[in-house]
Chains A and B, each alone.
Chain A
């Protein structure tokens, strides 16, 4: 489903704007990230797109058509996970999915089939009759997302879907979204955790205080803002130096890094092992060269992990507010 927002605005009180003149185009079948700090207007934007909150101004177009007066038909094509919507604790996953499937007016036979498919897809088949209150947090979140997909929507709106999920569940969520994308579903995800969206989104928009800051394909934005750097943390195995100074391994490493024009942000000691945080002004090939040089110089590198994404850097450059 193609989604277009034209000067979309929302005020709850007639005085202050939650969202102001937001213009976006979300191509059909893409994953679109909506980024912004808390209170930026992400949730309000998603609620307007889900047609549960009426815009104060502007226009919403679904497949080029304006929102009809009775939005119930368009809602059948939308799956919406709002922020902080809990489950019914006494209902089992199967009952919960059946309940929402009926709210979307799915025919009985089709619904039962969809419930079975969804339970398997979301790895909840083993818990189909367990009350939701007894499920783990990750399972509950999966069930909430499953509810949004039970009626096979063409547009999926997820507000902070990875909130509270462990790394494994986040990875599962990513896989589920990619699978939905393969089915042609347009996905709009809001988050303030940029690493969640970095490699997932095709396009994104950054909004602050209800206004659009920038929007477009992720790569174009990163290139447009000249962010071609990665931040890594290196953990080394080294003997401590005299008088608490760097050991020989760290000194050698710093020398190699200087030769490769790598910016050293800081050096530290964690769990008794020296660490170096660096900015690499280039792509991952350059980092591979740096690592090879370090190894060649007999620096004993234990791990090299990326700390911040490029998207995060773009965001930091654009925003006044820092996000985690």
Chain B
């Protein structure tokens, strides 16, 4: 049996289970309805004349603000036929009786236009604009309006003959003979724009399904299997552990696949009709890789926490987690900035959103800026490979956990690879990396703080499996801490190499290394303490307190990294600057925390 056939055969029971009874029919129906809803939503947002739809269009940069348009085109835009009739009558009565105290929009627009034209006639014009300036002066005189210089204390209207928008507005006013045109509001989008917007909505729903819903379902299902102790019988069937994990994921993903298929079709159809195919295909590929990684992450979380929390609680936690990451990613993708392009490497949600947007509604940031576009493509390519590798590592870890094979979830080299990949991705994503105003030490500390979480997870995965009575097993604490130190060293080397300033290492104060070493020691001990030994309430409180206290290493490192200023002995303990007592407490805790953690790990041995 080929590998693909084996995988299909492994997925069959879980897919059949997911589709049993009338479920398949219901999913297909829901999928079709979702597809129709996308089309309706696309048409509504594209061509609807309500304020909500208009706001969405403006958010995508497809429509300029109504005020700007009224100014620029010298029109009055109204929302109803009644308003249209009223405004048209008021506009027809222009120029108005100056004794009347009534205010209306046509009057206001007329006055504004008169001031604007007057200002234009009193502003020095380049030779090429003389004719237009004369036309403006003639217009005023033809309406019996004085061409006195505008009173700067009463009204101030800016005009510049060198501002194309000002000139265009003047032309519009002259063409309208000082009488604004009243227009009933309708969406300015063309059919092509509507197709693009519909495709963008489909892309958004597609991303949501693959990058939020899919890992949520996969993780919750694993949690349920663990919680209800139904996983063990499955490990005794003819499925290999890897097949079991992938098969389980396939069951949940088949539902997502059914729901996402029409969205992908709509996306590709709209792209084929009115967009760029390559970014869309790239977006789908990134979404699939991201879905794989996040599904493995969801399964790992479900497996690790399924025995401690109910699937419902865990599901809500996963939804919050993946939803939060998804929203952040979508925000970065929808509104990119040259400093945040690197985030595309770290968050597949950001990369997917960016690519789908680029295929249909490209952001102006990338217009004629090939360098930036290439940077984005590079970040996405590196990120996709990295995320894919992390997904594979997650699969390996799950395989060992579920199959209870191997001593730990990851081997030393796998953990090193994971640390390297996350380091590269985090350094790429660091917004301060390219900022000339960001100090180098800030860049280093930001990435170190971000990497603390994955490093802690990798170290937990390196700890030998905890089983009943595991407290009696000797834990290779020193060897594991050495691995963490190696990863941190790798991070330092890559950071300096990325900055292109390797000589900076010599300028670092020894106190920075002292705090860095202390932080890594505590981070490692905390990670091992959490997974390798049972935790009572007291231990939990102490671990949480220690984790909070460990964060104080960062301001200390930052303080001692400053290349300027005098470093006194008091700077070694920042709390000492508040009070001698707090300084003493800090000094005690600096020793007590690692000592207690070390003791709890070694004592059991």
Listed in ascending order, the chain A residues whose CB lies under 8 Å from chain B are 12-16, 50-54, 70, 72-73, 75-76, 78, 80-82, 84-88, 91, 95, 98-100, 102-105, 147, 151
Contact = CB atoms under 8 A, between A and B. Distances in A.
A127 B228 CA distance: 23
B236 A78 contact: yes
- Interface bracket on B: 20 to 34
A104 B237 contact: yes
Given A82-B233, A86-B229, 12 more contacts: A12-B469, A13-B470, A15-B469, A52-B235, A70-B240, A81-B233, A82-B232, A95-B21, A98-B16, A100-B233, A103-B238, A105-B238
Nearest to B241: A72
Contact of B239 (A16, A91, A103): A103
B33 interface: no
A54 B239 CA distance: 16
B93 interface: no
B467 interface: yes
Nearest to B228: A86
A85 B228 CA distance: 8
A105 B238 CA distance: 7
Interface string B232-261: 111111111000000000000000000000
B240 A85 contact: no
Given A91-B17, A95-B20, A52 B470 contact: no
Interface of B: 9, 12-13, 16-17, 20-21, 228-230, 232-240, 404-405, 467-474
B468 A12 contact: yes
A14 B238 contact: no
A19 to B, nearest CB: 13
A70 B403 CA distance: 12
A99 B467 CA distance: 30
Contact of A13 (B16, B232, B469): B469
A81 B232 CA distance: 10
A20 B249 CA distance: 37
A98 B14 CA distance: 11
A163 B597 CA distance: 43
A103 B470 contact: no
A13 B467 contact: yes
A85 B17 contact: no
A189 B428 CA distance: 59
A102 B229 contact: no
30 contacts: A12-B467, A12-B469, A12-B470, A13-B472, A13-B473, A14-B473, A15-B472, A51-B236, A52-B232, A52-B235, A53-B404, A72-B238, A72-B239, A72-B240, A73-B238, A76-B238, A84-B229, A85-B232, A85-B233, A88-B17, A88-B228, A88-B230, A95-B21, A99-B16, A103-B13, A103-B234, A103-B239, A104-B237, A105-B238, A147-B233
B84 to A, nearest CB: 58
Q: Which residue, of A54, A85, A100, has the highest number of chain B Cβ atoms within 10 A?
A: A85
A98 B239 CA distance: 15
Closest 10 A/B residue pairs (Cβ) = A102-B13, A12-B467, A103-B237, A15-B472, A76-B238, A13-B469, A80-B236, A52-B236, A13-B473, A50-B236
B240 to A, nearest CB: 5
B525 to A, nearest CB: 21
Contacts of B234: 103
Contact of A75 (B228, B237, B405, B470): B237
Contacts of A84: 229
A80 B468 CA distance: 22
A102 B12 contact: yes
B436 to A, nearest CB: 55
A99 B240 CA distance: 16
B467 A104 contact: no
Contacts of A82: 232-233, 236
B9 to A, nearest CB: 6
B495 to A, nearest CB: 39
Nearest to B605: A15
A164 to B, nearest CB: 15
A139 to B, nearest CB: 18
A50 to B, nearest CB: 5
A99 B12 CA distance: 9
A101 to B, nearest CB: 8
Q: Which residue, of A72, A91, A95, has the highest number of chain B Cβ atoms within 10 A?
A: A72
A75 B468 CA distance: 26
B236 A95 contact: no
A16 to B, nearest CB: 5
A85 B404 contact: no
Nearest to B21: A95
Contacts of A14: 472-474
A75 B232 contact: no
Nearest to A75: B238
Contacts of B13: 98-100, 102-103
A95 B474 CA distance: 46
Contacts of A147: 233
Contact of B236 (A13, A15, A75, A98): A75
A127 B250 CA distance: 29
A15 B235 CA distance: 26
A73 B469 CA distance: 32
B2 to A, nearest CB: 14
B225 to A, nearest CB: 9
Contacts of A78: 236
B473 A102 contact: no
A229 B230 CA distance: 43
